[in-house]
Chain A
Amino acid sequence: MLLIECPWCGARPHTEFSYGGDAVVRRPPDPQAVSLDEWLDYVYLRDNPMGPHLEWWHHVYGCRRWMRMRRDTLTHDVLEVTPVDHPTGQGS
């Protein structure tokens, strides 16, 4: 069980959250303007690190807000939780 410190609700079990994946990748602002390689990079390729990993989590059975979280993929330790206003990270 992961204990996640939601910026709005406090410490909650991870079963209240859904996982949104790698938060390092960013959708190119203008998909028409990027090369095939850049699009491939965004859609498919991942660093997939062993250790600290920046990722999206959604407090879906709580406040329904998104957050960015740094978590260790080897120890499962939650290292840092950052609130964001929008799942794409815009405005944060």
Chain B
Amino acid sequence: MFALARHAVTGHRRWPLAWRSPTPRRRYQVVIVGGGGHGLATAYYLAKEHGISDVAVLEKGWLGGGNTGRNTTIVRSNYLLDANAHFYEHSLKLWEGLSQELNFNVMFSQRGVLNLAHSDPQIDAFLRRGNAMRLNGIDAEWLDRDAVARRLPLLDCSDRARFPVLGGLLQPRGGVARHDAVAWGFARAADARGVDIIQNCEVTGIRRDGNRVVGVDTSRGHIAADKIGIVVAGHSSRLAAMAGLRMPIESHVLQAMVTEPVKPVLDTVVTSGAAHMYISQTDKGEVLVGGDLDGYNSYAQRGNLPQIEHIVQAAISVFPFLSRLRLMRTWGGIMDMTMDGSPIIARTPLAGLYFNGGWCYGGFKATPGSGWCFAHTIARDQPHPLNAAYTLERFASGRLLDEKGAGATPGAH
């Protein structure tokens, strides 16, 4: 408060920097490619958990300017499969202490995540997933239709609804967080431990010496490194191709949108898989709506209008009050969709090169857990048990993590 008043007098020109902007050195022990939440978290945990602070984070644009700033900020761990449940629950536990850990308010709000059930088979599937969650020590509650209606007074629970509500699976500890703050908090905390964060530095090539990587070519010159971590979300395939690797990934555009801000009307994150829609209200009051992929490969960070119309129709059919609101903004982000819908945090066939990507729709909630596991994988040159299943080799060996049971398709969550 006093600082705000003091800096107002000087026209806000003398705020101290939250992190340095160093000139890149010619050599680092570890180079992290990608300055989003996952890359910054990786650098932070490398320094904190493994004592490796000779680290550079290279970001082609600005921190958190990619998917970190484009996601719909949902945090949850409501997974069926054991490997996913354990990993995402670890991440959720890190979220619960993250503001204290980073001394930066990431505005983590555990308002609950509710999946709506619209059919009897869906009820069976949700109960099965809820039971699996509880067996893995994760909170899950089944709400019948009346309980859902009490919790969400504006939801259309009538018999005439286009998507009749039969109940819902609630994870009370799920919620939302402030996405920019996550990037800034990890950046400041990593910088304080000696990590060099270098923005406007695009990686253009990965240098190899036989079967080992030795450094990266960047728009600011060559940087040598003992170990390189790729964590670039939608551009995963392109970075991997620089090292001669072909990935089980397609890049697709996913859109989201917000309405004009209104008074508090929705205190839970609500999803409807059947309607292809999920929704929450931001702290600013905007109603935030997302849906499914546009449906074709894209690197454009913008989508098409028919998909927006589809998502808006679904949202209005579930929450009729939305029809009175105007859309204020829409945007798109590039998802690195793996062929089984689960991520990759792993070593690669090249010594010294590590890969973190394939987060599909759901990278934001994984941010602290992903950085924590990736840091372990890089520092020890072997995965932690929590990410041991997220290998590249699983596609060849058949040990897929296919939550949806949909087979080889780059469209699953």
Number of interface residues of A (CB under 8 A): 28
Contact between B237 and A46 (Cβ–Cβ < 8 Å)? yes
Q: Is the CB of A47 within 8 A of B246?
A: yes
Give every chain B residue within 8 A of A5 (Cβ-Cβ). Answer: none
CB of A19 within 8 A of CB of B295, answer: yes
Cα distance A50–B235 in the bound complex, in angstroms: 9
Q: Is the CB of A44 within 8 A of B306?
A: no
A34–B316 Cα gap in the complex (Å)? 50
Interface string of A19-54 (1 = CB under 8 A from B): 101100000000000001100110111111110010
| Interface size counted on chain B using CB atoms at 8 A | 24
Interface presence of A9 (CB below 8 A):
no
Question: Which A residues are CB-close (under 8 A) to B339?
Answer: 43-44
- Of the candidate stretches B51-59, B272-280, B297-305, the one touching chain A is B297-305
For the complex, is B396 an interface residue (Cβ under 8 Å from A)?
Answer: yes
Contact B304 A14 (CB under 8 A): yes
Within 8 A of A (CB), among B373-413: 395-396, 408, 410
CB-based contact B237/A47 at 8 Å: yes
Q: Smallest CB–CB gap between B294 and chain A, Å?
A: 9
CB-based A-B contact count at 8 angstroms = 71
| Bound Cα distance from A71 to B300, whole angstroms | 12
Residue pair A73, B300 in contact (C-beta under 8 Å): yes
A2 in contact (CB, < 8 A): yes
Question: Is there a chain B Cβ closer than 8 Å to A75's Cβ?
Answer: yes
From residue B299, how far is it (CB to closest CB) to chain A in Å? 4
Once the chains are docked, how many angstroms separate the CA of A13 from the CA of B304?
A: 11
Looking across the interface, which residue of chain B has its beta carbon closest to that of A42?
B408
Overall SS of chain B's interface: mixed
Tell me, yes or no, whether A15 is within 8 Å of chain B by CB.
yes
Chain B residue numbers with a CB within 8 Å of A13 are 306
Contacts of B295 in A (CB 8 A): 18-19
| Known A44-B408, A47-B246; contact A73-B251, beta-carbon cutoff 8 A | yes
Q: Is the CB of A50 within 8 A of B299?
A: yes
Distance from B334 Cβ to chain A, minimum over Cβ atoms (Å): 9
Task: Tell me if B205 counts as interface (CB < 8 A to partner A).
Answer: no
> Beyond the given A18-B295, A73-B251, could you list 5 further A-B residue pairs with CB under 8 A, ordered by the A residue number?
A1-B306, A21-B250, A44-B395, A48-B237, A48-B297
Q: What residues of chain B have their CB less than 8 Å away from a CB belonging to chain A?
A: 235, 237-238, 241, 246-251, 295-300, 304-306, 339, 395-396, 408, 410
Chain A contact residues, CB within 8 Å of chain B: 1-2, 13-15, 18-19, 21-22, 36-37, 40-41, 43-50, 53, 55, 71, 73-76
- Sample of 29 A–B contacts (CB below 8 Å): A1-B306, A2-B304, A13-B306, A14-B304, A19-B296, A40-B395, A40-B396, A44-B339, A45-B246, A45-B247, A45-B248, A45-B395, A46-B237, A46-B246, A46-B247, A46-B249, A47-B241, A48-B238, A48-B250, A50-B238, A50-B299, A53-B297, A71-B296, A73-B251, A73-B297, A73-B298, A73-B299, A73-B300, A76-B304
